[in-house]
Structure 1
């Protein structure tokens, strides 16, 4: 038999219980056909000698933002800024990059918790040389805009507007500070968006090209098409365009934000139906591009203190965060979507937000007989009380935490939560003990998204200064590898086709310079990605594969 690819002389972790290890794998028409002796007598169009490298199922990031990330790659980068003078200097440098004095300056990767002092509105105006300035916070839940920008979007320097589910920050004199939280970001987006579809497609090209270099073969984008996280009402069309023009280097599942869904009229016997026109719902697509769950934001950000918690943040008398909308309205949206067959992905970072998310899902699923094509999900879990885990389990939902937040922002989060709640923050080991699906995810570009770096964070759970952060929630390297492969496949409804290597499974794999289980844990993130393969096709190689 002649097949497409034989990759041999490798140390293969299949993730398949019937055959955990192998040294050669064969691929035909995008799927695995066998291992080792099963390939005897076979020839292939491409034969690659792995030279003893480590091969495993490709990494699957179950929560990222590819368009947002792809755009940051062409914006002014404020990552790592710890002194506000650094911010002003970078803005000043960028202000001369465009001949149009009215063109917006856009910067990304800003972490206000790492800064020595808050940014000043007048200083931002001076640095931008009269141009409107937008600084995207790394959390994704806030902007900082200069005075010129506030005037341009109609907020003004002395705002009077009140925005449901958001805050326009002001000082004691009622003057805007430039900080816009949550839904208060929308006036800026109303001016700057929608983005052109071609720009969105190019951002996807840049993002997925970077993903392939890091061993990613699948990614779920957590919210497109609307809300403050979307880029255009036509956004999914840009994904289709990118797919059709060969611009996606990874498989993509795209969640649709709840803002896009609406009641759809049907037969009187069919009950409420919240979805897209023509009855389109999650699951539509193929193994390259698929519509994922509906994404609904229950609360805000732990970094910004806007996530809804039951006890106040440390250092605040009344700082409990807040919900993103009216609970009854959110419940109606979720109930209608579940009736229509949608899986629900609820962004719930604070434990009070998680209480509401579980209440809504329990009510909606109890009233519906529809089974969605993929599990319901809880995104993030910044604070999860022990009694909430059985409720997640009973729903068959996945919990999707981001351990890289600990490595990137752990000191600031611990300061806001205090010692006791830090033990409950972004859990992993207790999730597995409870029998809940634990996927691998990054929330990139909120935090760095290289899978090997995130796997190291899963295992070590130490902050940027080396402080242990909920050490009882550490998991083993093998468990972390499983989270980024089989766990993510289960969470996204693809466990039957990907996540491990076995005959009939999609031939998605990554080749590494070392086995992450056999190196010191503090070096896992430094392991080299030698090549990445999607459906048996090489999407990245550090050097030309050796062909016999």
Structure 2
């Protein structure tokens, strides 16, 4: 029998309890077909001597923003600025390659780095040579326009309107600063969007090439085709075109946002349904491109103090954040999507928003049953003990981002305080409650390398070098499991990925060392020597034979 690929002389961590470790592996038609002794006697079109490298199932990020991340690779990068002068310099450099009159777009700015302050709106216009400027904040829940940008968006210096689910920030004189929160960002996005589909395809290629270099073989794009996070109504068409052209380097599960779904006409005896016109729903697609749950934004972020909390924010008497829409309207849409067969992914950062999300999902399950692709809450940044019990009982996955801790853990702990900080980004508690734990990054909000996420799960050290919830630490083995098996379970794909066993997809990563073999603080530095998806190399060191 001739197979497509054989990997020999490897230290394979299969994540399969029936055969946990192996030395060799064979691939045929994109799937693992043999391990160890069963490989002997097989001929292959390509054989790789791994030279003793560690081999793991490919990593799986279950919550990232691939189009958004790809576009940031084409925009001014503000992720490492240390001063306002750095921002103005980056805007000036980007403006040099931007046509007069076009918008200068920058990404990755984290206001926490500069004391939660913002650049001057007129200085931004000066730096851009008069071109309108739009700065995307790293959280994704706010942005800043220059003075010229505000004018084009219809925001004057007087009579600033209140907005449902969003805020136009003003200074002490009542003059807009340029900062637009949550749904207020739509004022600028309505001008910039939609992106050309060709640009979205290019963004996907850049993003997935980057993913492959980090050992990722599967990623879930958590929100496309609508809302403030989408880039074009036909974003799914760009995904399909990128896949057909061979531009995707990772398998993709794509979550449309609720705004992209519409009412579906049906029989009078059927419940009201919401979805795509032809009735496609979660699970539609194949091994490379699949529809995931529908994404619903219920609140904002802790960094921007727009997440809805039961108790007030530290230092903000009477302020609890807010929901992004009328709760009854959101609940109705959730139930209609569930009636159409969609799994649910409700963004809920604050514990008050999580109460709403749990109630809505529970109502959907009572009415329409538990879907095969798990219902989820995204982030669950503050989860009370009673909420953890409800999550486990309802079999709802809570998708946390460990890399938030080294990126801006203190920026989270500050607004919520020590007591609620101890209830945030929960990992150990999820495992102890019998819940599946997955890896996700929320990239480009935070650094997305899966090895960094594994390290953060284990260490839980904040950007200031402080321990962040020692009681929520997990072992290296548990963190690796989260990035492989756990992620497959949370995305409903455990039958075909997450393990290296016969019949599973041949998605694997070759590492310079196994994460368990190095000091916890060095996990993120382990070299990714090669990445293989479906038996084909998506990344490969030149030295690897």
Q: How far 1:162 sits from its partner (Å)?
A: 2.1
Correspondences of 1:312-461 after superposition (within 5 Å): 312-369=312-369, 371-461=370-460
Note the residue ranges of structure 2 that are not aligned, 5 or more in a row: none
Choose 387-396 or 53-62, whichever is displaced more.
387-396
Which string of whole-angstrom CA distances, capped at 9 and with x for unpartnered residues, describes residues 360-401 of structure 1? 1111211224x4230000100110101101111122111100
Choose 116-125 or 381-390, whichever is displaced more.
116-125
In structure 1, the residue matched to 2:53 is 53
Correspondences of 1:40-439 after superposition (within 5 Å): 40-98=40-98, 100-116=99-115, 117-158=117-158, 160-369=160-369, 371-439=370-438
Q: SS of the counterpart of 1:278? A: coil
> Over aligned residue pairs, what C-alpha RMSD do you find?
1.1
Q: How far 1:95 sits from its partner (Å)?
A: 2.4
Q: How far 1:157 sits from its partner (Å)?
A: 3.3
Q: SS of the counterpart of 2:305? A: coil
| Native 8 Å contact 1:294 1:344 kept in 2 | yes
Residues in 1 aligned to 2:272 and 2:118: alpha-carbon distance in whole angstroms: 47
| Native 8 Å contact 2:160 2:168 kept in 1 | no
Q: How far 1:9 sits from its partner (Å)?
A: 0.2
Residues in 2 aligned to 1:269 and 1:493: alpha-carbon distance in whole angstroms: 30
Correspondences of 1:473-512 after superposition (within 5 Å): 473-512=472-511
Residues in 1 aligned to 2:83 and 2:249: alpha-carbon distance in whole angstroms: 37
Q: SS of the counterpart of 1:277? A: coil
Residues in 2 aligned to 1:29 and 1:322: alpha-carbon distance in whole angstroms: 50
| Native 8 Å contact 2:160 2:176 kept in 1 | no
TM-score (norm 2): 0.98
Q: How far 1:159 sits from its partner (Å)?
A: 5.0
| Native 8 Å contact 2:529 2:544 kept in 1 | no
Residues in 1 aligned to 2:301 and 2:364: alpha-carbon distance in whole angstroms: 25
| Native 8 Å contact 1:509 1:532 kept in 2 | yes
Q: How many residues align?
A: 544
Choose 313-322 or 10-19, whichever is displaced more.
313-322
| Native 8 Å contact 1:159 1:175 kept in 2 | no
Which string of whole-angstrom CA distances, capped at 9 and with x for unpartnered residues, describes residues 116-147 of structure 1? 54322222222222110000000000011111
Residues in 1 aligned to 2:131 and 2:249: alpha-carbon distance in whole angstroms: 36
Which string of whole-angstrom CA distances, capped at 9 and with x for unpartnered residues, describes residues 7-47 of structure 1? 01000000000000000001011111111101121110000
Note the residue ranges of structure 1 that are not aligned, 5 or more in a row: none
Residues in 1 aligned to 2:158 and 2:501: alpha-carbon distance in whole angstroms: 62
Q: How far 1:544 sits from its partner (Å)?
A: 4.9
Residues in 1 aligned to 2:339 and 2:471: alpha-carbon distance in whole angstroms: 39
Residues in 2 aligned to 1:356 and 1:435: alpha-carbon distance in whole angstroms: 23
Residues in 2 aligned to 1:94 and 1:75: alpha-carbon distance in whole angstroms: 7
| Native 8 Å contact 1:226 1:233 kept in 2 | yes
In structure 1, the residue matched to 2:515 is 516
| Native 8 Å contact 1:530 1:542 kept in 2 | yes
Residues in 2 aligned to 1:118 and 1:194: alpha-carbon distance in whole angstroms: 27
- Residues 158 and 542 of structure 1, relative CA distance in 2, 3 Å threshold: farther
Residues in 1 aligned to 2:4 and 2:396: alpha-carbon distance in whole angstroms: 38
Residues in 2 aligned to 1:171 and 1:465: alpha-carbon distance in whole angstroms: 30
- Residues 159 and 104 of structure 1, relative CA distance in 2, 3 Å threshold: farther
Q: SS of the counterpart of 1:167? A: strand
| Native 8 Å contact 2:169 2:176 kept in 1 | yes
Q: SS of the counterpart of 1:367? A: helix
| Native 8 Å contact 1:305 1:319 kept in 2 | no
In structure 2, the residue matched to 1:536 is 535
Which string of whole-angstrom CA distances, capped at 9 and with x for unpartnered residues, describes residues 149-205 of structure 1? 001121233353222100000123221001000000001111000001110000000
| Native 8 Å contact 1:69 1:445 kept in 2 | yes
Residues in 1 aligned to 2:156 and 2:192: alpha-carbon distance in whole angstroms: 17
Q: SS of the counterpart of 1:32? A: strand
Which string of whole-angstrom CA distances, capped at 9 and with x for unpartnered residues, describes residues 485-519 of structure 1? 01110111100000011110000000000010010
